Structure 1
């Protein structure tokens, strides 16, 4: 009887290890991580002002941006992706911004981007130099997929870049 109990507990232990492995694997799914990030982006309200220039964000077309500042534990909102990059690429701010969100412009209208289409800005594709304008004139069009960014660049001009390829000189 004692031997059977030990065998049963051993099998149970291995079953728990397998179950734990399945849970960890499911939690590390990139799409699940992307979906979780979208829920942390916050809505842009009518009265929200750009953290960089102070303009009312919702009055202008084009993709917007948000950055979570770990030192202030607050979400900083920007009227355009250009202002977002101008802020987060400053050496003092690079270490402070933990998360970055931008609109996926393949899923939302250019004239009034919708908040449910925020994506992880570090994983996005950007078009710089297009004819489409944002709050301060030229802006960076943001997309979740490279093919959408390339199609946009073919239609409106510009060149496609990844997040980590963008520099202050390009802006």
Structure 2
């Protein structure tokens, strides 16, 4: 009886240690030709504009998104219940061009400045949430392409969840730097 009580107490104390464990935030992963969009199942490199990667607890590889907007949608859907450990987006202020957003210029989504409501559409032909690592780059982009600057948590749900008409192409060109 005493032995059973000791085992039960030990199990409870060890179990409590795991409950308090903090999942370490992973580093961003460089985008490669093997990166496939979570929703569209297409190679993310086939689409222009910024990309996103979401890291989930227990998974080694991130989920990839062909548009940052799609990553924002993922975080707003009630059926997506996996624990998100990190979200990274292309810093378009450091992008070579709209067509070449970069494979290693990632910024934490919580630290980024996003331009919404601009004339620039994303790689899937719908309005995009365009990320920048510094506010001044986002301001320059707004002065050239319109829109407004928000932080990740401020992106309106209706901006990413409302139905939109797709267009064949939006404004093109090099993002403001």
**TM-score normalised according to structure 2 size:** 0.69
- Does the 8 Å CA contact 1:67/1:76 hold for their aligned counterparts? yes
**Count of aligned positions:** 134
Give the match for residue 61 of structure 1: 48
Match of 1:131 among 112, 115, 119: 119
Greater strand percent: which structure?
Answer: 1
Match of 1:121 among 82, 86, 109: 109
* SS of residue matched to 1:98: strand
Q: Which runs of 5+ in 1 are unaligned?
A: 1-36
Question: How many Å separate the matches in 2 of 1:100 and 1:68?
Answer: 6
Give the match for residue 158 of structure 1: 147
* SS of residue matched to 2:80: helix
Match of 1:170 among 153, 159, 162: 159
- Does the 8 Å CA contact 2:44/2:66 hold for their aligned counterparts? yes
How much is the aligned-residue C-alpha RMSD, in angstroms?
1.9
Greater helix percent: which structure?
Answer: 1
Which structure has the bigger radius of gyration? Answer: 1
- Does the 8 Å CA contact 1:150/1:160 hold for their aligned counterparts? yes
- What does the per-residue CA deviation read over 1:61-92, in whole Å, with 9 as the maximum and x for residues that have no partner? 11100010114343111111011111122134
Match of 2:98 among 110, 127, 143: 110
The Cα shift of 1:170 comes to 1.6
